[in-house]
């Protein structure tokens, strides 16, 4: 069971100092230095007001299609712990809505259709000034979760990438996570919390080869082996879905380029958002 331990939760604008430390919040406001403001170094995360529960009773291997290699663990985070974790992460993490331009046959402006945030550092552990953007330590609850996922999957991770789909309008289009900094056969463990969403997979060379899931809160899906090289995955828009969903992927990056890329596309250089009193607000907007 998840037991409540703290009273000062969730954070409101007036109690944010309890979560991020008085000096940090004040410093950001006083300095108004844009780079610090949009990219705060939060070094005091609150402790979670519940005990993290995990279970691997329902573990299914899915490897009956060409180059597909999945582990599907339903209710890895059992109820009601799944929703305690969802609420805690939503209320305490810094979020971003990253914009960037992409050169195809013309320059296209992309607004990422979901909120994102990322923690972790590649194996090379360079000094922080060697990175384009300084990597951030994994918050304690995500670190605890990472350790549980490592035990369940027998793989070590060093990045925790978090997506927040505010409702069914938010999405991620077909892609594969097969960048070279993830190694030859990346193992990516992906945890769902909150609203149910479709998770579509299709083979890269044969569009008719598909594997679709409806991911529920607490489910863990692990993509490994040749999956990233041979398959795309997506969470399509579902306009009828009005509630939010958090997805957490655990990955291992081997070179600094991974760190730079993750921070560029999941933190970016726009404003920070925080979820306060049930609303996502631009934290610099007052």
Ligand X SMILES: O=C(O)CCC(=O)C(=O)O
Annotated binding-site residue numbers: 163, 165, 175, 178, 233, 245, 249, 251
| Angstrom distance (rounded) from CA 86 to CA 254 | 29
Nearer to ligand X, 145 or 172 (CB): 172
Binding positions for ligand X, 133-152, rule CB under 6 A: none
Binding positions for ligand X, 240-269, rule CB under 6 A: 247, 249
> Out of 28, 190, 227, 259, which residue is the one contacting ligand X (CB under 6 A)?
190
Provide the minimum distance between the beta carbon of 249 and ligand X in the complex, in angstroms, as a whole number: 5
Contact status, residue 247 vs residue 198, Cβ threshold 8 Å = no
Binding residues for substrate: 178
Question: Could you give the string, one character per residue 169-188, with x where binding to Fe ion holds by CB under 5 A and - elsewhere?
Answer: --------x-----------
177 binds ligand X per the rule CB under 6 A? yes
Helices (H), the chain: 16-20, 22-31, 34-38, 81-92, 140-153, 227-230, 256-266
Q: What are 231's strand-pairing partners?
A: 203
74 binds ligand X per the rule CB under 6 A? no
115 binds ligand X per the rule CB under 6 A? no
Provide the minimum distance between the beta carbon of 130 and ligand X in the complex, in angstroms, as a whole number: 25
235 binds ligand X per the rule CB under 6 A? yes
Contact status, residue 101 vs residue 107, Cβ threshold 8 Å = yes
Say which residue the tokens 């060379």 belong to.
205
In the chain the beta strands, taken as DSSP E runs, fall at 58-62, 70-74, 99-103, 107-111, 115-120, 159-165, 172-175, 188-194, 197-203, 210-215, 220-223, 231-235, 245-251, 273-276, 279-282
Contact status, residue 94 vs residue 42, Cβ threshold 8 Å = yes
201 binds ligand X per the rule CB under 6 A? no
Q: Would you tell me which residues interact with ligand X (CB under 6 A)?
A: 161, 163, 172, 177, 190, 199, 233, 235, 247, 249
Q: Would you tell me which residues interact with Fe ion (CB under 5 A)?
A: 177
């Amino acid at each position: 069971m998840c037991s409540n331990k703290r009273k000062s939760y969730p954070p409101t604008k007036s109690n944010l100092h309890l979560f991020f430390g008085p000096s940090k919040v004040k410093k950001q406001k006083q300095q108004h230095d844009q780079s610090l403001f949009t990219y705060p170094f939060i070094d005091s995360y609150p402790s979670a007001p519940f005990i993290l529960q995990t279970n691997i009773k329902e573990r299914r291997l899915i490897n009956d299609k060409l180059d597909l290699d999945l582990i599907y663990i339903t209710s890895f985070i059992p109820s009601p712990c799944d929703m305690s974790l969802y609420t805690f992460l939503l209320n305490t993490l810094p979020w971003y809505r990253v914009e960037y331009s992409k050169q195809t046959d013309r320059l296209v402006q992309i607004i990422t259709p979901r909120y994102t945030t990322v923690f972790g550092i590649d194996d090379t552990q360079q000094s922080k000034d060697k990175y384009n953007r300084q990597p951030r330590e994994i918050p304690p609850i995500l670190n605890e979760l990472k350790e549980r996922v490592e035990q369940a999957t027998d793989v070590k991770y060093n990045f925790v990438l978090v997506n927040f789909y505010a409702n069914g309008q938010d999405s991620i289009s077909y892609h594969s996570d097969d960048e070279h900094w993830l190694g030859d056969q990346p193992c990516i463990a992906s945890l769902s919390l909150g609203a149910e969403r479709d998770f579509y997979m299709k083979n890269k060379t044969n569009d008719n080869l598909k594997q679709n899931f409806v991911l529920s809160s607490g489910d863990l899906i692990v993509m490994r082996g040749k999956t990233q090289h041979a398959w795309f995955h997506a969470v399509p828009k579902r306009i009828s879905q009005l509630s939010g969903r958090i997805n957490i992927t655990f990955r291992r990056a081997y070179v600094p380029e991974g760190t730079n890329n993750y921070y560029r596309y999941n933190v970016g250089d726009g404003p920070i958002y925080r979820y306060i009193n049930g609303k996502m607000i631009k934290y610099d907007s007052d």
